[in-house]
Amino acid sequence: MNYARKLSTIVCAAAILAAASPGYAKPRIVILATGGTIAGAQADRSQAGYQAGKFQIGDLIAAVPPLQDLAELSGEQVANIGSQTMTDQVWMTLAKRANVVLKRRDVDGVVVTHGTDTLEETGYFLNLVLKSDKPVVLVGSMRPATAIGADGPANLYDAVAVAANPGARGRGVLAVLNGEIHYAREIEKRNATQLDTFESPNRGRAGLVNTGHVVFFAKPVPRHTTETEFKIDDLDRLPRVEIVYSYASLGPEFVDFAVKDGAKGLVLAGVGDGNTTDAALAAFERAAKQGIAVVRSTRTGSGIVARNMELDDDRLGFIASMDLNPQKARVLLMLGLTRTSDPAKLQEMFTRY
């Protein structure tokens, strides 16, 4: 493909110099593919629409020959879907497979190809359940592989470079796109179409990568991977948690229905500092009294929803999400509910992770 040849001219020189260095031994990286735009194709290059997950992982690797200069690569197709259709079951399959691969002595790191729509949720889930300090890097693209100016090849090259870098070890799960390195816990998709869609609004980026040259910033503060209490080896499913989005005139109906329909936890995507209407608030309070875990988060996209700041969480029986957005609060609450239903203990998890 033309885009692969263009990328090759940019990165080959640096890769060849690295490979020629005395004592150089290429790291061994496994790419676990789940599909997404990075593996997508258009019926016509002039069209905006495309089919995600059209190509297999072998196609992606073959399209970027300089990858072979960075690492010894192998690939596995775990799924091949658009990430808008990501499910808890695919998360479990991916995480269990990644844990097996990371235990191998002949593996130095893992790259996960993924669609951008739910990349932040998958990344945070892996950040909480993987049990290795080896590098794990998620990567995707905003343009399909067949598009003019496809960003996937460069992103994939940079992701492998980060996974192969010794400095990535012990940092938890990372995400690489558009020349930036983000912690999976912090990253958020903030634009529907632009290449620079991802930001880490609260704690900032983890580092930068330019044609394979990696620079890391500060290490993460929240606990991750080997430091968490979450284990999925014996789990077949996760507890059901729903998100209720707050808006003017929100009534109690969505909350009441979710409880009646079997939800074990609820996340409020609240206005401002995790607030909502009186009617919805009363419904959340009723749910908490029935033993349903209720987490307050914010729809604003950044900031901290601290305990007892906007509402009396102690009286209402609620949990404050701290700086987790609603979709990540849902991930942590699902895993938290596999350990406990005690709101106080769940609150400790939101402070710790």
Cβ atoms within 10 Å of 165's Cβ, excluding its own: 22
**Can you tell me the distance from the alpha carbon of 60 to that of 143, in angstroms, rounded to the nearest whole number?**
14
Contact of 209 with 72, CB cutoff 8 Å: no
| SS3 (DSSP) at 85 | helix
How far is the C-alpha of 21 from the C-alpha of 14, rounded, in Å?
11
Q: Is 37 a catalytic residue?
A: yes
Question: CA-CA distance, 96 to 117, in Å (whole number)?
Answer: 22
In three-state secondary structure terms, 111 is: strand
What lies within 8 Å, CB to CB, of 302 at 6+ separation is 188, 201, 202, 323
Q: Which of 34, 37, 225, 228 is catalytic?
A: 37
Which amino acid appears at position 159 of this protein?
Answer: A
The type of residue at 91 is W
Asked if 265 and 326 touch (Cβ cutoff 8 Å), the reply is no
Order of strands, edge to edge, in the sheet holding 173-177? 72-81, 28-35, 109-113, 136-139, 173-177, 180-183, 207-210, 213-216
Q: How are beta strands 207-210 and 180-183 bridged, if at all? A: antiparallel
Phi-psi map region of 322: left, alpha, beta (phi>0 left; psi -120 to 50 alpha): left
Active site residues per annotation: 37
